[in-house]
Structure 1
């Protein structure tokens, strides 16, 4: 007779057998992983904070020649 047919332990239904235990070790793994993810998020954010806070200094035309490059002559509206 095969050994797996002999049951020496308690018999559980399928739903109970599929669910894991909720113990203190699972709770601490969840807490530590959440804290590490938050540290990684804020670490990446702090590394790029200088780029996010900087202001573009040259946001307008410096000279009239540079401004004239972008001006187009006005043309009358075409009607169909």
Structure 2
């Protein structure tokens, strides 16, 4: 990828991330509770891995499942 193309893509990603921040604020307001909207980008051997598994690995959810007291939603679940 050329340097100019990479810059254009990085700028677009930054705009999308900004939009996601605004959406997170709207969701928190609508739910009446704070929330954390995460974007997890794995490094290494995660090619073709389902988003659910990426989230579980990143948050170190092993065999116990998601922690109690949190409503966890994976918005881009595998199909």
TM-score bracket for the superposition, by shorter chain length: 0.3 to 0.5
Q: Which has the higher contact order (CA 8 A, sep 6+)?
A: 2
Give the TM-score normalised by structure 2.
0.34
Greater fraction of residues in helix: 1
**What TM-score does the superposition give when structure 1 sets the normalisation length?**
0.33
